[in-house]
Structure 1
């Protein structure tokens, strides 16, 4: 299905906006206001300001972004990269799972060869 002019933009996958915001913050030379983040993410202005503020607030609550007061607003900077956000989400999912062994087994079984090798190497480093 092809989008037509005037159609709303397609919905992002869960977590995509937060990862994009972290990338913007990480690429910045200084802390940014929500308006500056919005401008860098979406120069056309389709993304609402309140959505950016909500995303930044949630990242701050998760410890992924720091904020400092600047007048009546805040300026935000990244304290983590998007991969840390993904790892945090994975950890939250496991927290609520009574059978973690089954979940982790299925996760590892579904990994490709390269990812499985990387995971084994990382786990091997923990034993050192």
Structure 2
């Protein structure tokens, strides 16, 4: 996942919290509860997010409806994967990460690794 700017991240948060696809106006109304943005600004950012492959859009009644391509958790996991792949020594990166994990996170990782089917 590409690094998101502040407004891109805010728009993705709105889409991730949505229960159904949203029109530009609906995203704008949600964002403008805490700021004052122009319709064209939100439309441009949604178009950019679509071009980056982070949202899909479908034309309905002459208006695009936008949906996030993946969940927040899936996008975060993809970002972690890309960071791990770009870090050079994967083992060292993973060890540094594990050392920084809380006890609760470590317990969760141990349980998850026990459940994970092994590739052959």
Q: Structure 1 length as normaliser, TM-score?
A: 0.66
Cα pair 1:34 1:56 within 8 Å, conserved: no
> For 2:57 and 2:31, how far apart are their aligned partners in 1?
18
Call closer, same or farther: CA 1:54–1:84 in 2, change over 3 Å.
same
Call closer, same or farther: CA 1:18–1:83 in 2, change over 3 Å.
farther
Aligned to 2:15: 25
- Unaligned regions of 5+ residues in structure 2, if any? none
Cα deviation, 1:20-66, whole Å, max 9, x if unaligned, reads 5444334434311223112113325434553564256436744x533
Aligned to 1:34: 24
| Pick aligned residue for 1:54 from 45, 52, 74 | 45
SS of aligned partner of 1:46? coil
The alignment yields a C-alpha RMSD, in angstroms, of 3.0
Please report how far the alpha carbon of residue 15 of structure 1 lies from its aligned counterpart in structure 2 after TM superposition: 6.8
Aligned to 2:82: 92
- After TM superposition, list the pairs within 5 Å mapping 1:97-112 onto structure 2: 97-112=87-102
Please report how far the alpha carbon of residue 122 of structure 1 lies from its aligned counterpart in structure 2 after TM superposition: 0.9
- Unaligned regions of 5+ residues in structure 1, if any? 1-13
Cα pair 1:67 1:76 within 8 Å, conserved: yes
> For 2:98 and 2:37, how far apart are their aligned partners in 1?
37
Call closer, same or farther: CA 1:26–1:118 in 2, change over 3 Å.
same
SS of aligned partner of 2:116? helix
Please state if 1:80 is matched with 2:70. Answer: yes
